[in-house]
Amino acid sequence: MRSKQSKSSIGILFLFGAVIAGALYLYNSSVFEREVPKISFENNGYWNLKKALDISIDDTSGIKAYQVTLKIKDEETVLYNERFMSAKESVKLAVEPPRSAYAMKDKIVKIIVEASDNSKWNFLKGNNVKNEYVLNIDKKRPQVATLSNSYKITKGGAALVIFKAEDENLKEVYIQTNFGKKFKVQPFYKEGYYISLLAWPVNEGSFKADIIAADFAGNISKSYIPLYLQEKKYKVSNIKLSDSFLKGKIAELAEEFEETQGVENSLEQFKIINEDVRFKNEKLIHEITSKIPTEMISDFKVNKMYPLRNGQVVATFGDHRKYSYEGVQISESNHLGLDLASNSMAAIKPQNGGDVVYSNYNGLYGNMPIIHHGLGLYTLYGHCSSVSVNSGDFVNADIHIANTGKSGYAMGDHLHFGVLIQGIEVRPAEWMDKTWIKLNISDVIKTAKNIIDSK
């Protein structure tokens, strides 16, 4: 009797265990997965009724059916509806608006996305999801109008533009050039107005700039900046490398830079220094000088620049230098500053104040302070023997900031004076010309203010 009871208990336990095991198998089986389909909707809450809406639906057990509906007030329009004979793990949709949608006057619509998967969960009905997305309708492009700009821009030089850009959903405003550079703009004077300095790099054959204004719905306006282009030829210098130079200055610099460690050949050392080290040094300069403030400014004034009293020009801006040894060209580079020399260790006193954004040693440029004068306009002072300002300092005009020298890649005591606009080197000669500053900066700002005030 006990044996029969024991066998019966074992049977019940076995059956109970089998049921539990079966339940656990079904619970953990992918066939009975319980996660609802994942809907991804790439949108920022705005729609211009032109660009398709990107929607993706994913599920591990596969998508069995989906539907996309456009809801305007109480009216619903099914845009997509599909049921699959064989479930798909992923569905990618580019939802186009119905033809009648662009004529509608509603400012807000809803996109409803529904999907069901191929799971056997929920009594074989699968998992279902329904997401609603509220979209603001914006079909209007931003308004853009140029108020005032420099008459011309010279190759290697600068220009100024002031314009108006308006849109209730404005996302970004910038200036796009034909050579890929995007110039940032700064709010100017009153709400809706912007100002920016422009630069035509010395190594670019042409120049074209457009004001770009885009809103959150994807509407874009483009306005050409009418600048007369003035071509300018720059000097080409063929420089023969001497053994004394290679064994002297280059050997000295080669001991300093990590890029030339272990390199014994003098010509290889020179090539690395003139190209790789220079690239590294200029990359740092461009990164530092690419920044522009974002707060609104009401004016921008700049004085004629001449940081070295009685300084004589010993090397010009834009000089394309080709270096050769025994008739074979070894390397080349562009001289993107103006070299000035007077007395040994002469005092450097900029005519414009500003923020010292860098004051340290920078390879070929030696001891090198950089000052930001506002609006993305920077001045650089290379090869200094000593520097009396630190990064983070604010300096007034005509303050002694450093002394000329021959630190870095300099054969004699001088100042390498550079002017940069948003990371692009420009002709210092323009900023050393009082008439040029008046015509291209002061008068442009004055004209724009008069227009703004008259509205």
- Whether the CA torsion 240, 342, 372, 428 is positive or negative: it is negative
The whole-number pLDDT of residue 21 equals 47
Radius of gyration of the chain (CA): 34
Q: Distances from the Cα of 139 to the Cαs of 204, 215, 240, 254, 255, in angstroms? A: 37, 10, 63, 61, 63
pLDDT per position as a tens digit, 77-93: 899 999 998 888 899 99
Q: Which two tokens stand for residue 437?
A: 């500053």
**pLDDT per residue as tens digits for the range 256-300:** 999 999 999 999 999 999 999 999 999 999 999 999 999 999 999
The CATH code of domain 236-422 reads: 2.70.70.10
Fold equal for 31-137 and 143-231+445-454: yes
Q: How many CB atoms lie within 10 A of CB 27?
A: 10
Contacts of 272 (CB under 8 A, 6+ apart): 257, 259, 260, 263
pLDDT value, residue 17: 53
Who's near 67: CB < 8 A, 6+ residues apart? Answer: 78, 80, 81, 82, 112, 113, 114, 115
Contact 398, 322 (CB under 8 A): no
Q: Which CATH superfamily is domain 143-231+445-454 in?
A: Immunoglobulins (2.60.40.10)
Cα–chain-centroid distance for residue 296? 20
What is the pTM assigned to this prediction?
Answer: 0.87
pLDDT cut 90: percent of the chain above it: 78
Q: Is 366 exposed, middle or buried (0-12, 13-18, 19+ CB in 10 A)?
A: buried
188-231 pLDDT, tens digit each:
999 999 999 999 999 999 999 999 999 999 999 999 999 999 99
CATH architecture of the domain with residue range 31-137? Sandwich (2.60)
Non-local (6+) Cβ contacts of 57 within 8 A are 37, 38, 39, 40, 63, 66, 90, 91, 93, 113, 115
Spatial separation of the C-alpha atoms in residues 253 and 257, rounded to whole Å: 7
Of the two residues 267 and 1, the one the predictor is more confident about is 267
Identify the CA nearest to 442 among candidates 301, 305, 298. Answer: 301
- Angle ∠(357,362,364) on CA atoms, nearest 5: 140
Tally Cβ neighbours within 10 Å of residue 234. 16
**Sequence spans of domains, the chain:** 31-137, 143-231+445-454, 236-422
pLDDT of residue 404: 98
Q: Which residue has the tokens 């996309």?
A: 68
Could you read off the pLDDT of 426-447 as tens digits, one per residue? 999 999 999 999 999 999 999 9
